[in-house]
A and B are shown apart, each in its own frame.
Chain A
C-alpha cells in the first residue's frame, strides 16, 4: 500500500468517533431515501401492473336503473375503448361466531367468467360456475379477517331477502386495492366485505333484468376523459345517474394516490435534511483536519505530490465516510423497506407487492450521499489544494481577536477571563459558531418535527370525536325516506335521541376547480353533528347558502360570499348557483353543509332524510342492531367509537412508525452534531486548556471553558431549533394534508420541551465524552508544542 494511503487510514482511525458519527448520519440519509424511494417504487409498480393486467376501468358511473341497450350508445362515444355494465348494490352479511353486523357491497360478474374490466385476481378457489345463483367470490381481506375459505358459507340479506351464499373463491380487484366501506374513512376488514356474484342471480335480486345500475369503461389512449364523462353523464342523466367520474375520484385509487403523494414528499424532504446535516458535519471536520495538517500538506507538496493528488487524498477521506454511510444506509434501508412492505400489504391489496431494491435506487442514494459529502468538503479541500508549499510550511498567522459589543457593555466588565475566552472564541469564529448553532438547531428541529405529530394527531381525533361527532351510531339509508322515520327510530330499544340528515352527492365548482363531495343537510342547530368555526366554536347553519370545510374552500379558491356552482348528482340533476355563507373547520373529511330545509327545497322534495345519528344505550346494542337490520331502508350502521379506534390504529401503524424512525434518527443526529463540535473544540483548544492546567486551573475550571462554550452554543441553538422545527412542521403539515384528514397545526409545549430535552441530552452525553478526554489531558504537551 502506498504510504499516502496508509496515512489516510491512520487519519481515519484517529478520528474514528467523528467518522462513525458522520457515517451514521449519512447512512440515515441513505436509509430514508432508499426506504421511501423503494416503497414508492414498489407501490407504483404494483399498482401499474395490477391496473394494467386486470383492466382497471378509467371511468365509472352509477345509475338508478338504465336499460342495457343504452350501453351501445356509450360504446359509440369517441375515445371509449370498452364498456361493461354491472349490477351493484349493498348487502348485509352475518358471519358465524361474529356478533357485529357486516356491511357488504355486491358486484355482478358475467355469468361463469371473469369480467372484461376490473378483473379479479383469484387467491383461492374458482369463479362461480355459470348458472350458479348462490356462489360468490369474496374479497381477500374480509376472508382473512374471518378466516373464511372456499366452500364456507355466509348468510346474506340482499334486498330484504335472506340467502345462504357459498364462497367459491377469494379474490382481490384493482377496484378495491384500498378496501373501504362507503361511509368509512378507514378500512374495517371485519365489518366490510366486497362480494362478486353472477350477473343473472343479481339481476333477479335487484330487479335489474335487461337493465344495469353501474357502468365502467376504459378509454383509448389519448382520449379526452373529461369529454367522455360529460357525454356519459348526458346519456345516463335521465336514468338517475349520480354523475360519472374518472379514476381520480374513484375511492380506492384516490386513497392510493394520496399515499403516493405523501411518500413522494417524504422521499425528498427527509433525505435532504439528513444529508444536509452530514455535509455540514463533514465540512467542519475536514476544515479542521486540513487546518491541522497544514505542514504535512506543505511537506507532501515539497516532496512533489501534485495538487490533484493532495486534493484526492482528502476527497478519499470523505469518500470512505460516505461509503461506510452508504453501506449502512443501503443495508438498513433494505431492511426497513422490507418491514414496511408488510405494513402496506395490510392496507393496500395487490396481487404481489415486490419490495425489490432497485439498482437504480441504490445508485441514486449513493450518488446523492456522495454529492452531499463532496459539497460539504469541497471548500476545505480546495483550501488544501491551493496552499502554496512554502506558505503552508509556516505556522498559520496568529488568530485575531477583538472585543465584541457585549463586552463593552456593563455586562462585559463583570465577566471572568474564562467567560471572556468563551465569548471571544465564539465571536471570533462567527461562521463556525453559526454553523454549529445551525447544526444543533437543525437536529432540535427534527426532534420537534418528529414529536409534534403525536400531539397533533391526538388533537385532531379529539376535535373530531369529542367536538364534531357526538353520536354513538350513525345510520345511512338506501335512499331518502320521510322524516317520519325519526319517530320509528326513537322507539327502538336503547335509543335515547335521534337526529336526522339529508345527504346529496354534488359536484361543486368555482372558477376552474371542481370537487365531488356530499352536501349534508342538517338541522339548524344540530346536537350530534356539530359544525365548528376556525376557533372550534359551534356555529348554527344559516337558513340559506352553503358552508364548506376550509380545505375544500381553499382547493376551490373560494371565500365567504363567493357564488359556488353546484351540480346536484341525484334526482333531477339540476345545476344551480349558491352563495358560500361561510367556512367550517373540520380535521377529517371534506364535506359541505346546508340547512336541511333549504336542501329539501333545492331537491324539490318534502322533509326527506338520508340517514340518522343516534344516542344509544351501549348495553342494548345487540338488540338494537337486530331491530335496525330488520328495517329495509337501513343500508349501513356505523359505530363512532369503532371509527375512532380504527383511525387511531391506522395512524399508529403508519404515521407514528415513521415518526418514531425519524425521532431515533434525529436523536442520533443531535448527538453526532454536538459530539462532533465538542471533539473539534477540544482538539483545537487542547494546548490552551493544558496551559491553563499548568497555570493552576483545576479540572473543573478548565472544563468550564470547553463545556461552557458547548453549553452556550446548545443554549442558543435550542430556540433556533424551535423556530426551524415549527417551520418544518408547518410545511410538513401542509404537505401531508389530504382529503382524508388534516392534522391541526398545533405545536404544544411538550414538543418544545422534547426538542430542547433531546438536544440537552445529546449535549450531556457529549459532555461526558469530553470530560473523559479532559481528565486525560496531558499537561506536558502544553510546554512543548507550538
Chain B
C-alpha cells in the first residue's frame, strides 16, 4: 500500500464559500465566506461549537451539499459546478466518510460492510486488509449487532479507507463513544493518516482532540476565526477527556 505522494499543491482550495438555508421564514447563514486550503497528507481538525458551520463545510467538501456561492476546487476540479453524477463519482472514488453514528449496514458483516464500498470503487484495497489495519482482522464475519461501539466505528473507518481515498472526512468520530474507546478510534485515524498519507479532516467540538492535528481550523459563526499549526503534535494515547 503506497503512501499518497505529498506535494505542495493543495488537495482542496476553498474561496469565498457561503451557504445560506431558508428554514421556514428564517434565513440561516451557515457559512459566511470561508477561505482555506487543505494539503496532501495533513491531518486537520475542524474545531467548533455546535451550529458553528463546521458540518456544513465538511458536507460541501465531501460533495454532499452545494454552496450558495464561492468555489471549492478539488485537485483542479471545480466541485461547485459539478453535476450530481460527478459528485457521486467524486464521493465514490476520492472521499472516505466516517460518521458519528457509524452508519454500518446492520444486515452486512464487517467484511461485507467494507466490501460494499470496495466493490464499486476504482482502486480498492482488500476488505480483509482494511479491517486488519483497524485491528479487526479477527472480527471479519461479525455483524454490527455483535460488536461494541468502538469496534463498529473502526469498521466504519476501514470502510472509509478501503477505497484508498484522497481525503478522509470524519464527522465527530468519537461523539458516540466513551473517552477510552474514542482514543482507540483516534489512534486508528492517526495510523491511517500516517501510513496511507490520506488527507484527513476530523470535525469535533472537543478541544482535546485538536492536539493530535497537524493544523487546527477553528470555526465560529460561519467563519474561520483562527488557524494554527501544532508545533507539538501529540499521539492520541496521550489525550484524555
A residues contacting B by CB (< 8 A) are 397-402, 416-418, 420-421, 424-425, 428, 687-688, 691-699, 701, 779-780, 782-786
Residue B106, interface by CB 8 Å: yes
Residue of A nearest to B84 (CB): A699
- Give bound CA distance, A416 to B93, whole Å: 19
- Give bound CA distance, A699 to B145, whole Å: 27
Most buried by A among B62, B101, B115: B101
Residue of A nearest to B145 (CB): A398
Can you list 6 A-B pairs, Cβ within 8 angstroms, ordered by A? A401-B107, A698-B85, A698-B92, A699-B84, A779-B64, A783-B99
Residue B194, interface by CB 8 Å: no
Residue of B nearest to A417 (CB): B116
Residue B88, interface by CB 8 Å: yes
**Do B116 and A692 touch across chains, with their CB atoms under 8 A apart?**
yes
As a 0/1 sequence over residues 85 to 123 of chain B, the CB contacts with chain A under 8 angstroms (1 = contact) are 100110111010101110101111000100111011100
Residue B37, interface by CB 8 Å: no
A-B pairs, top 4 by smallest CB distance, nearest first, are A696-B92, A398-B145, A424-B107, A417-B116
Min CB distance B161 to A, Å, is: 12
Residue B55, interface by CB 8 Å: yes
Given A400-B146, A783-B97, A783-B100, 7 further pairs, Cβ under 8 A: A420-B108, A420-B112, A688-B103, A691-B99, A694-B99, A698-B92, A785-B101
**Do B107 and A694 touch across chains, with their CB atoms under 8 A apart?**
no
Min CB distance A681 to B, Å, is: 13
Contacting residues, chain A, for B59 (C-beta < 8 A)? 780, 783
Residue B71, interface by CB 8 Å: no
Contacting residues, chain A, for B159 (C-beta < 8 A)? 695
**Do A696 and B107 touch across chains, with their CB atoms under 8 A apart?**
no
Which label, helix, strand, loop or mixed, suits the secondary structure of the A interface? helix
Min CB distance A716 to B, Å, is: 18
**Do A400 and B64 touch across chains, with their CB atoms under 8 A apart?**
no
Contacting residues, chain B, for A425 (C-beta < 8 A)? 107
Residue of B nearest to A427 (CB): B107
- Give bound CA distance, A779 to B59, whole Å: 9
**Do A696 and B120 touch across chains, with their CB atoms under 8 A apart?**
yes
- Give bound CA distance, A421 to B143, whole Å: 12
> Which residues of B in the span 132-147 have a Cβ within 8 Å of any Cβ on A?
143-146
Q: Per a CB cutoff under 8 Å, which of A400, A687, A693 touches B145?
A: A400
Given A418-B116, A780-B59, A783-B99, A691-B88 contact (CB < 8 Å): no
Given A780-B59, A780-B65, A786-B101 contact (CB < 8 Å): yes
- Give bound CA distance, A596 to B114, whole Å: 86
- Give bound CA distance, A425 to B107, whole Å: 7
Q: Per a CB cutoff under 8 Å, which of A402, A687, A696, A699 touches B91?
A: A696
**Do A784 and B107 touch across chains, with their CB atoms under 8 A apart?**
no
- Give bound CA distance, A694 to B95, whole Å: 9
**Do A782 and B103 touch across chains, with their CB atoms under 8 A apart?**
yes
Given A420-B112, A695-B97, A696-B93, A780-B117 contact (CB < 8 Å): no
Residue B151, interface by CB 8 Å: no
**Do A687 and B119 touch across chains, with their CB atoms under 8 A apart?**
no
Min CB distance A422 to B, Å, is: 9
Min CB distance A696 to B, Å, is: 3
Residue of A nearest to B64 (CB): A779
Given A400-B143, A695-B97, A696-B120, A421-B91 contact (CB < 8 Å): no
Q: Per a CB cutoff under 8 Å, which of A397, A417, A701, A779 touches B108?
A: A417
Given A401-B145, A417-B112, A783-B99, A694-B106 contact (CB < 8 Å): no
Contacting residues, chain A, for B91 (C-beta < 8 A)? 693-696
**Do A687 and B103 touch across chains, with their CB atoms under 8 A apart?**
yes
**Do A701 and B120 touch across chains, with their CB atoms under 8 A apart?**
yes
- Give bound CA distance, A421 to B112, whole Å: 10
Residue B171, interface by CB 8 Å: yes
Min CB distance B74 to A, Å, is: 14
- Give bound CA distance, A697 to B85, whole Å: 10
**Do B100 and A421 touch across chains, with their CB atoms under 8 A apart?**
no
- Give bound CA distance, A338 to B193, whole Å: 77
Contacting residues, chain B, for A424 (C-beta < 8 A)? 107-108
Given A424-B107, A696-B88, A783-B55 contact (CB < 8 Å): yes
**Do B171 and A421 touch across chains, with their CB atoms under 8 A apart?**
no
Contacting residues, chain B, for A416 (C-beta < 8 A)? 119
Residue of A nearest to B112 (CB): A417
- Give bound CA distance, A691 to B159, whole Å: 12
- Give bound CA distance, A688 to B99, whole Å: 12
**Do A399 and B106 touch across chains, with their CB atoms under 8 A apart?**
yes
Contacting residues, chain A, for B108 (C-beta < 8 A)? 401, 417, 420-421, 424
**Do B115 and A417 touch across chains, with their CB atoms under 8 A apart?**
yes
**Do A694 and B112 touch across chains, with their CB atoms under 8 A apart?**
no
- Give bound CA distance, A401 to B106, whole Å: 7
**Do B107 and A428 touch across chains, with their CB atoms under 8 A apart?**
yes
Residue of A nearest to B113 (CB): A417
- Give bound CA distance, A428 to B144, whole Å: 14
Contacting residues, chain A, for B116 (C-beta < 8 A)? 417-418, 421, 692, 695
Min CB distance B51 to A, Å, is: 12
> Which residues of B in the span 42-84 have a Cβ within 8 Å of any Cβ on A?
55, 59, 62, 64-65, 84
Min CB distance A425 to B, Å, is: 5
Most buried by B among A421, A694, A780, A782: A694
Contacting residues, chain A, for B89 (C-beta < 8 A)? 696
- Give bound CA distance, A421 to B105, whole Å: 8
Q: Per a CB cutoff under 8 Å, which of A401, A687, A697 touches B143?
A: A401
- Give bound CA distance, A428 to B107, whole Å: 8
Min CB distance B149 to A, Å, is: 10
Contacting residues, chain B, for A688 (C-beta < 8 A)? 103, 105-106
Min CB distance B82 to A, Å, is: 14
Min CB distance B166 to A, Å, is: 13
Given A401-B107, A420-B108, A421-B105, A694-B119 contact (CB < 8 Å): no
Q: Per a CB cutoff under 8 Å, which of B120, B146, B176 touches A697?
A: B120
Min CB distance A563 to B, Å, is: 69
- Give bound CA distance, A418 to B146, whole Å: 21
Contacting residues, chain B, for A400 (C-beta < 8 A)? 143, 145-146
- Give bound CA distance, A425 to B106, whole Å: 9
Residue of B nearest to A691 (CB): B103
Most buried by B among A400, A417, A782: A417
As a 0/1 sequence over residues 143 to 182 of chain B, the CB contacts with chain A under 8 angstroms (1 = contact) are 1111000000000000100010000000100001000000
Residue of A nearest to B114 (CB): A417
**Do B88 and A399 touch across chains, with their CB atoms under 8 A apart?**
no
- Give bound CA distance, A383 to B54, whole Å: 41
Min CB distance A220 to B, Å, is: 76
**Do A697 and B88 touch across chains, with their CB atoms under 8 A apart?**
yes
Residue of B nearest to A695 (CB): B117
Residue of A nearest to B98 (CB): A783
Given A425-B107, A698-B85, A780-B65, A417-B119 contact (CB < 8 Å): yes
Min CB distance A703 to B, Å, is: 13
Contacting residues, chain A, for B64 (C-beta < 8 A)? 694, 779-780, 783
Contacting residues, chain B, for A420 (C-beta < 8 A)? 107-108, 112
Residue of B nearest to A423 (CB): B107
Contacting residues, chain B, for A428 (C-beta < 8 A)? 107
Given A691-B105, A695-B117, A782-B99 contact (CB < 8 Å): yes
Contacting residues, chain A, for B99 (C-beta < 8 A)? 691, 694, 782-783
Given A416-B119, A784-B100, A694-B92 contact (CB < 8 Å): no
- Give bound CA distance, A424 to B106, whole Å: 9
**Do B106 and A696 touch across chains, with their CB atoms under 8 A apart?**
no
Contacting residues, chain A, for B103 (C-beta < 8 A)? 687-688, 691, 694, 782-783
**Do A398 and B120 touch across chains, with their CB atoms under 8 A apart?**
no
Contacting residues, chain B, for A697 (C-beta < 8 A)? 88, 92, 120
Contacting residues, chain A, for B105 (C-beta < 8 A)? 417, 421, 688, 691-692
**Do A698 and B88 touch across chains, with their CB atoms under 8 A apart?**
yes
Contacting residues, chain A, for B65 (C-beta < 8 A)? 779-780
